[in-house]
Amino acid sequence: MAEIIEGVNPTRMELLKLRTKVKLAKKGHRLLKEKRDALIMEFFNILEEARGARRRAEENLERAFKALMLAQTSLGTLKVMECAYSTKPSPGIESYTRSIMGVRVPVLELAEVRRGVLERGYGFTDTNTQLDEAATRFEEALEAVVQLAEVERSIKLLAKEIESTKRRVNALENVLLPRLEATVKYIKMRLDEMEKENFFRLKRIKAMIEAREAA
C-alpha cells in the first residue's frame, strides 16, 4: 500500500481538496502520456530522416575527397592549396527554431553555396576541370552536412524531452497518484470511524437522558 501524505487533517474539506488533486493528477498523467507517445512518434520519424541525411553526407564527402585527390594529382597539392586560400568564403548559415510538441528544435538555412567557376575566386586560366569538380562536390557536401547537423541536433533534443516526460509520467503513476489515492482512502476511513463514534456517543447520551427521565 502506498504511503499517505504526512500532515493531512482527516476533514471533509481536506477530502474535497484531495479529490480535486486526484482529478487534476489523472488529467495531467493522461496528457503527459499522450505527449510522450507523440514525441516518440516524432523521434522515430526524424531518426529515419537522419539515417538518410547521414548516408547522403557520407556519400557526398566521399565523392568530394575523391575529386580533391584527382585535382591534387593533376595540379599538385600546392596549387590546390593556393586556390583554396583564394576562394571566397561560403555564405553563412541562418538558424532559428520550430516547435515539435513544445520542444524547440533547430532549423538551419544555408545560403546558396553552389557557385560557378568565375564566382569562386580562384583563377581558371591555370586550373582545370578536376579542381572545378572538387569544388562542386564540396559545395554539395556542405549542404548535406548542414542538413545532417539539423536533424541530429533535433534527435538529441527530442530524446532528452522524451526521457524527461517519461520520468514525470512514472512519478505521477507510481508515486503521486498512489499517495493521493491512499490519503483519500485514509481520510474516508477516519471520517467513517469518527461518524460511527459520534453515532454511538449520541446513542449513549440519548439512553442516559431517557433513563433519567424514566427515574
**CATH number, domain containing residue 115:** 1.10.287.3240
Dihedrals φ, ψ of 127, to 5°? -120, -170
Would you say residue 117 has pLDDT above 90? no
Residue 181 has pLDDT above 80, yes or no: yes
Q: What is the CA radius of gyration of the chain?
A: 36
Q: Is residue 163 part of a domain?
A: yes
Q: Residue holding cell 541562418? A: 94
Please report whether residue 171 resides in a domain: yes
pTM value is 0.77
Q: Which helix (H) or strand (E) holds 211?
A: helix 177-214
| Mutual angle of helices 177-214 and 12-75, in 10-degree steps | 180
Stretch (H or E) spanning 61:
helix 12-75
Total of domains in the chain: 1
Contacts 24+ apart (CB under 8 A), 48-53: 49/151, 50/148, 50/151, 50/152, 50/155, 53/144, 53/147, 53/148, 53/151, 53/152
- Of the pLDDT bands very low, low, confident and very high (cuts 50, 70, 90), residue 1 is low
Average pLDDT, integer, range 88-100? 85
Is there a domain that residue 83 lies in?
Answer: yes
Q: Report d(CA 163, CA 95) in Å as an integer.
A: 26
Q: Tell whether 1 is covered by a domain.
A: no
The whole-angstrom separation of Cα 130 and Cα 67 is 7
Tell me if 2 is assigned to some domain.
no
Contact 127, 78 (CB under 8 A): no
CA 172, CA 48: separation in Å to the nearest integer? 31
Q: What is the tens place of the pLDDT at every residue in 3-56?
A: 887 778 888 899 899 999 999 999 999 999 999 999 999 999 999 999 999 999
Query: Is residue 72 predicted with pLDDT exceeding 70?
Result: yes
Residue 26: domain span: 12-214
Domain annotation covers residue 145: yes
